[in-house]
């Protein structure tokens, strides 16, 4: 029935326009639909995108009418990680001419206040030890400048493979700041090696901006950044260093181009028939 969405058992049930128009949207060409020969399907014709009724094919007891088309299907899959990109964090370490004793003074230093020296590069993971107590993971990297009164910064794109809760943790001496997407964890303390956790909830899988800042005032210095799926309040064996993909850690890239609507598959089908006007179908099957 024109203007009425199909119901269960009818051809077309479960389909919707990918561009957002309601299923009742109609844009018939002049004189259409004319039901010539009992036509029960529709296609878009010419450059104007107007509708024409057409044979529905042998499965509906009508003649086949091969047309070019695009069919788009929801795959219900998380967006795949890109095949290219530099794995790891953008890393920066900055030493101060003054005292660094809080997240605020660390941020000011990273913004250029009181800089004595600085270095930068790419770090596969955040797992560094200068002196004092260590965290949970071995094979530590050294701080490049070390000593006292400095800050480090890690930035990149972290891939969250499954929507839902993920707990991010730090073990540090002294304090730290972490932001993933628009969610923030702050551990603004002067302390020996200690854990700090926060559970972030992600509405969907995909890449998210990540930024971690660590600051060292004096004495021992170490920093680790790790994560595990779920809502957790203490360290256990499920945690992995962020970026340590070889051991099950979350993937981090220094940068990545995000592809819109990554969880759909568009299939172009040209059936080799010369038509008076160009026609195509563009539909998405809702799961």
CATH classification of the domain holding 181: 2.60.120.1560
Residue 2 lies in a domain: no
State whether 245 and 272 are in the same domain: no
**Lowest model confidence (mean pLDDT) among 146-150, 152-156, 264-268:** 264-268
State whether 114 and 45 are in the same domain: no
The strand pairing partners of 226, in sequence order, are 169, 241
Closest Cα partner for 71 from 266, 264, 286? 266
Q: What is the share, in percent, of the chain residues with pLDDT greater than 90?
A: 56
State whether 149 and 243 are in the same domain: yes
If phi > 0 it is left, if psi is from -120 to 50 it is alpha, else beta; for residue 217 that is alpha
Give the tokens for residue 161.
């493979």
State whether 47 and 143 are in the same domain: no
State whether 115 and 179 are in the same domain: yes
State whether 117 and 197 are in the same domain: yes
What is the pTM for the complete model shown?
0.63
Q: What is the pLDDT of residues 201-246, one digit of tens each?
A: 999 999 999 999 999 999 999 999 999 999 999 999 999 999 999 9
DSSP 159-172: EE-SSEEEEEEEEE
State whether 95 and 144 are in the same domain: yes
Q: Residue 31: give the domain boundaries.
A: 15-76+263-285
Domain count, the chain: 2
CA atoms within 13 A on the CB side of 110: 22
State whether 94 and 224 are in the same domain: yes
State whether 186 and 156 are in the same domain: yes
State whether 67 and 116 are in the same domain: no
Residue with the larger pLDDT of the pair 282 and 234: 234
Residue 219 lies in a domain: yes
State whether 276 and 153 are in the same domain: no
């Amino acid at each position: 029935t024109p203007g009425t969405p199909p119901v269960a058992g009818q051809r077309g049930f479960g389909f919707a326009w990918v561009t957002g128009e309601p299923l009742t949207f109609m844009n018939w060409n002049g004189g259409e639909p004319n039901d010539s020969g009992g036509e029960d399907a529709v296609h878009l014709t010419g450059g104007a995108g107007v509708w024409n009724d057409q044979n529905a094919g042998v499965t509906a007891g009508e003649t086949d009418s091969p047309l070019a088309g695009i069919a788009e299907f929801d795959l219900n899959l998380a967006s795949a990680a890109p095949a290219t990109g530099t794995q790891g964090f953008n890393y920066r370490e900055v030493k101060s001419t003054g005292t660094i004793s809080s997240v605020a003074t660390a941020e000011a230093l990273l913004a250029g206040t009181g800089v004595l020296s600085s270095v930068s590069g790419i770090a596969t993971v955040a797992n560094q030890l200068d002196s004092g107590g260590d965290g949970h993971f071995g094979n530590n990297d050294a701080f490049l400048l070390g000593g006292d009164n400095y800050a480090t910064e890690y930035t990149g794109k972290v891939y969250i493979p499954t929507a839902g809760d993920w707990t991010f943790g730090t073990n540090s001496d002294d304090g730290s700041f972490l932001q993933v997407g628009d969610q923030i964890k702050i551990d603004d303390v002067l302390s020996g090696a200690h854990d700090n956790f926060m559970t972030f909830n992600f509405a969907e899988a995909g890449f998210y901006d990540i930024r971690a800042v660590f600051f060292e005032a004096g004495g021992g210095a170490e920093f680790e950044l790790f994560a595990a799926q779920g809502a957790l309040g203490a360290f256990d064996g499920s945690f992995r260093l962020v970026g340590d993909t070889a051991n099950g850690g979350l993937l981090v890239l220094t940068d990545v181009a995000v592809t819109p609507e990554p969880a759909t598959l568009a299939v172009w089908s040209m059936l080799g028939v010369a038509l008076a006007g160009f026609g195509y179908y563009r539909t998405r099957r809702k799961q």
